[in-house]
Structure 1
Amino acid sequence: MSDWTVTQSPAAGRRPRALSPLREHLRDTFWFAPLAAMVAVFVVWLAAQALDTAIVEALQKDGDYETLDELLRFADDAKAVVSAVASAMMTFIGVVFSISLVAVQMASGQFTPRVVRLFVRSRITKATFAIFLATFVLSLLVLTSFDTAEDARAVTTVPLVQSVLTLCMVALSLLLFVLYVNTTLRLMRISYVIARIAAESFRVTASMPVSADGPDTPDLGTATAWVPHEGRAGVLRDVHITRLVRTARKHGVTLRLIPRIGDFVVPGTPLLAVHGGAAPPRRALRYTISVGVERTYHQDLGFGLRQLSDIALRALSPAINDPTTAVQALDRVVQFLAALSRRPLDAALHRDRGGVVRLVQPVPGWTELVDLGFTEVRGCAVGSPQVSRRMLAGLDDLLLLAPPERSEPLMRHRELLHQAVDRAEQFPSDRAFALHPDRQGIG
């Protein structure tokens, strides 16, 4: 039996669910959605232009020049509207960009620099920028479609469909602008930021294999080979589980990831331990490991707790002195730990379609998660009864939810908090007040 706890997929014979690091990385970028929107609107414009040309040709073929004259008069009015739209959209884009910069600056300074990721990953922000840029590009393209001919018999196209499409894009832009302002104002409120962090953390938990203990837990034995990290140094953001499982199955081995997701790796350090055979060739492991400059939510179980702890620490700093925000962060810390209180941790087992373990991925253990959520905040909670009372209430709730074998780190933090408050508070009444559990801090 190996010395780590393992988990397995819901069905041993089921192929591991494909996780897409590329999709997650694109969500962390800001260029993809606007670029895709501009390419898409160019394709739509080509189709609309072809439709306008077909309409003009059909009217000329039928000899309906009276309708063509009306369309030409409509085109003169539409050209003025489209020109106004083209100039106004650049102003709109500047306003949205300015609002985003102010929101990001405020969030980074008041909460933690790591919450900037929430603004980058915001779908409504990306959609707003994408539609604004697409509307601007479309208006420029439509302006090139206006025919200078004044005779209905010589005209080649009248941008009727294109003008209507531009007006629809303007209406969509206005709607998105209202939604964007509402979303940005919500993201500037710490309650919603903390809730978003918690939601992202629970998505990581949901993507992990369902835990199961059983006699089929494998004993991997001694590693037969090692695969070092090659490439740039950085934070291990995620691994492509499906490719690693497929590679291990093809070569008849089991791979064990040495660093955890979120660890900083440097070239030459062991990255994968191979059990049961020789190491797969490097080309087979290409594009299975992603290294970046910062941690991401994808596959990183402790990243949410890290951000919640940072927010609480920033709130308790002398410069901000906002214990209520620290209490709100502790609410989510307790919620997250409660969800994991009875779930086997320490490692996740990923099996191939035959039910054979092919990849062992380390994840934080219970003690590490409890320490991450409470240690630093506990050190700053002394002198803030609101925080100490909330932390004690949270620890008591977790002691009720967690199995007895997981109570040690909770009891340790509870005792350390008692000792710190006893040393800091001079009067017994103050000590009794600060050590009275309260889920609202000072409700």
Structure 2
Amino acid sequence: MNGYWFLFRRFSRALWFLPALFCVTALIVVALAYLSAGFFPDGLEESAIPITVSADALRNILGIVASSMLTVAVFALSTLVNLLTSAAQTGSPRAVPLFSGNRAARTTISVFIGAFLFSIIGIIGLSSGIYTLGGRLILFIATLLVVFAVVWALIRWVREISVVGRVVEMTSRLEDATRQALNRLGRDGLYGCSEGEGSPVGHEVRAGGVGFVQHFDPHALQDLAEDRGLVIHVRVRPGDYVDHAAVIAVVVGEGDEAVLKAIRGDFIIGEERTFDSDPGFGFLVLADVARRALSPGVNDPSTANHVLTVQTRLLADWALKERGKERTDPPYPRIRFVSVGPEHLLDEAFRPISYEAATAAPDVQQALLRGLASLASIAPDVFATPAAALAEDFMARAGSEGSHEPDIVALRKLAAGLIEGTERQAQSSNPAAKRTQ
């Protein structure tokens, strides 16, 4: 994803962006109605057109729209704020941007505000007498379209407020955002770059600031590397914390200060992690939802079980993606990147939940081990080893903090089955080791 496109996506998700765009559109429509007088012949008679609307009648219609839309817009905004507050309390505050930046909510509020401004400007124009008979006809047609848009927006808003704030809706949007980030990451975990290993020697590019790597632009880096005959080793991943001295890239080849500055500009470092290019952040926020559900004040183990199912589905789909397809040359061969491994994603998805699950209800503990076992059986070459290691760590924690021995015994059986399956998989994939036993 291009760096400018990444910034535009973030900019366009702001709650004020679409309302401002609709307001500008409303002003343009009203201005076109005034300028359209030149398209009608001079001395146009009312009998020559099928519909005639007096200035007073049109002013009354626009007055009704203006007064009602102002009330509806204020009500919609206050309702959205209350729903976002509820979503932050029941789920995770980090997931709130997925609701406030949702296109349906922004479009609906934008229609209300745009309709209000359209009506106000139209009333001002009618009161000043700037519209001819043809202009009033155009303004009337535009008013009908605005009314239809308002009715559509109201129906859409009813649907939106019926789902915002529900935990299932939050996890669904988090799943979609994480899946999109996994698609950008790619099955090989390289973002389309080449595999980079070792410690390259070259010109170091430092972050020059404190924050989290939100995005890097491999396309722009590839173009720069081709033009200058360079090989650029990216040393950080989206989601990594960096400071002024952190090395974000190493340039192998002849690179002057202008080139190093251009490379630094292709990295976006911000105050917090984002969902766009950082699938680990999506897994982490999903884990936050589960951990909040397991807190004593909420005590909602079913939500934690649901989140574990979502995490398992995301990782399994990612592991099975493009399986069996022939590998092709990466689109950015001059950009070397340290692969985001499955153990890293599994750790961000399951380990935070394991802290609270160690003392949670037995069904949550079993759901966590069941998810690890599913991943180990679905994609043993990818997840068997890290899943078994995480299961051992979880059992050590649960065994030390658990109090009911039968529950611990049942968990040990589940974990033992997962670990034994991993060992069998390792033996089957290593015939030499199998013969020595």
TM-score computed with the length of structure 2 as normaliser:
0.82
SS at match of 2:360: coil
Q: Does 1:37 align with 2:22?
A: yes
Task: Give, in angstroms, the shift of residue 323 of structure 1.
Answer: 0.7
| Distance (Å, rounded) in 1 between the aligned partners of 2:198 and 2:225 | 14
Task: Give, in angstroms, the shift of residue 86 of structure 1.
Answer: 1.0
Task: Give, in angstroms, the shift of residue 327 of structure 1.
Answer: 0.7
Equivalent positions of 1:310-321 (< 5 A) are 310-321=288-299
Identity %: 22
Residues 170, 277 of structure 1: alpha-carbon distance in 2 compared, 3 angstrom cutoff: same
Task: Give, in angstroms, the shift of residue 256 of structure 1.
Answer: 1.9
Residues 218, 426 of structure 1: alpha-carbon distance in 2 compared, 3 angstrom cutoff: closer
SS at match of 1:61: coil
Task: Give, in angstroms, the shift of residue 168 of structure 1.
Answer: 2.0
For residue 88 of structure 1, what is the aligned residue in structure 2? 68
- One-letter identity of the residue aligned with 1:41: A
Q: Does 1:108 align with 2:88?
A: yes
Residues 40, 437 of structure 1: alpha-carbon distance in 2 compared, 3 angstrom cutoff: farther
| Distance (Å, rounded) in 2 between the aligned partners of 1:326 and 1:148 | 62
| Distance (Å, rounded) in 2 between the aligned partners of 1:219 and 1:291 | 24
Task: Give, in angstroms, the shift of residue 413 of structure 1.
Answer: 2.2
- Structure with greater helix share of residues: 2
| Distance (Å, rounded) in 1 between the aligned partners of 2:402 and 2:260 | 60
Equivalent positions of 1:245-260 (< 5 A) are 245-260=222-237
The structure whose RCO (Cα within 8 Å, separation 6+) is larger is 1
- Please say if residues 238 and 289 of structure 1, whose CA atoms lie closer than 8 Å, have aligned partners that are also in contact: yes
| Distance (Å, rounded) in 2 between the aligned partners of 1:217 and 1:234 | 25
SS at match of 2:250: strand
| Distance (Å, rounded) in 2 between the aligned partners of 1:189 and 1:356 | 41
Task: Give, in angstroms, the shift of residue 334 of structure 1.
Answer: 0.9
For residue 429 of structure 2, what is the aligned residue in structure 1? none
Q: Does 1:46 align with 2:31?
A: yes
| Distance (Å, rounded) in 1 between the aligned partners of 2:351 and 2:78 | 38
In structure 1, stretches of 5+ residues that fail to align are 1-16, 439-443
| Distance (Å, rounded) in 2 between the aligned partners of 1:221 and 1:414 | 33
Q: Which residue of 128, 146, 150 corresponds with 1:169?
A: 146
Count residues with an aligned counterpart.
404
Residues 317, 200 of structure 1: alpha-carbon distance in 2 compared, 3 angstrom cutoff: same
Residues 387, 111 of structure 1: alpha-carbon distance in 2 compared, 3 angstrom cutoff: same
For residue 379 of structure 1, what is the aligned residue in structure 2? 355
SS at match of 1:236: strand
Residues 212, 111 of structure 1: alpha-carbon distance in 2 compared, 3 angstrom cutoff: closer
Equivalent positions of 1:224-303 (< 5 A) are 224-230=202-208, 232-279=209-256, 281-285=259-263, 287-303=265-281
| Distance (Å, rounded) in 1 between the aligned partners of 2:381 and 2:332 | 32
- Please say if residues 390 and 437 of structure 1, whose CA atoms lie closer than 8 Å, have aligned partners that are also in contact: no
Higher mean C-alpha deviation, range 161-170 or range 124-133: 161-170
Residues 429, 266 of structure 1: alpha-carbon distance in 2 compared, 3 angstrom cutoff: closer
SS at match of 2:239: coil
In structure 2, stretches of 5+ residues that fail to align are 416-437
SS at match of 2:153: helix
Task: Give, in angstroms, the shift of residue 303 of structure 1.
Answer: 1.2
Higher mean C-alpha deviation, range 122-131 or range 170-179: 170-179
Q: Which residue of 390, 395, 406 corresponds with 1:429?
A: 406
Pairwise CA RMSD of aligned residues?
Answer: 3.3
Q: Which residue of 323, 332, 340 corresponds with 2:318?
A: 340
| Distance (Å, rounded) in 2 between the aligned partners of 1:46 and 1:311 | 49
For residue 427 of structure 2, what is the aligned residue in structure 1? none
SS at match of 1:367: helix
SS at match of 1:281: helix
SS at match of 2:249: strand
Please give the per-residue CA displacement for 1:129-186, whole angstroms capped at 9, x wherever unaligned: 221121111111211221667xxxx967652221331232122122212212312321
Task: Give, in angstroms, the shift of residue 123 of structure 1.
Answer: 0.6
Q: Which residue of 358, 372, 397 corresponds with 2:374?
A: 397
Please give the per-residue CA displacement for 1:307-333, whole angstroms capped at 9, x wherever unaligned: 111111111111111111111111111
TM-score computed with the length of structure 1 as normaliser:
0.81
- Please say if residues 301 and 361 of structure 2, whose CA atoms lie closer than 8 Å, have aligned partners that are also in contact: yes
SS at match of 2:125: coil
Task: Give, in angstroms, the shift of residue 221 of structure 1.
Answer: 6.2
| Distance (Å, rounded) in 1 between the aligned partners of 2:393 and 2:93 | 29
- One-letter identity of the residue aligned with 1:250: D
For residue 12 of structure 1, what is the aligned residue in structure 2? none
Residues 392, 50 of structure 1: alpha-carbon distance in 2 compared, 3 angstrom cutoff: same
- One-letter identity of the residue aligned with 1:377: I
- Please say if residues 23 and 114 of structure 2, whose CA atoms lie closer than 8 Å, have aligned partners that are also in contact: yes
SS at match of 1:102: helix
Please give the per-residue CA displacement for 1:30-77, whole angstroms capped at 9, x wherever unaligned: 2222222222222222222223x247x53x535x36669x846x3212
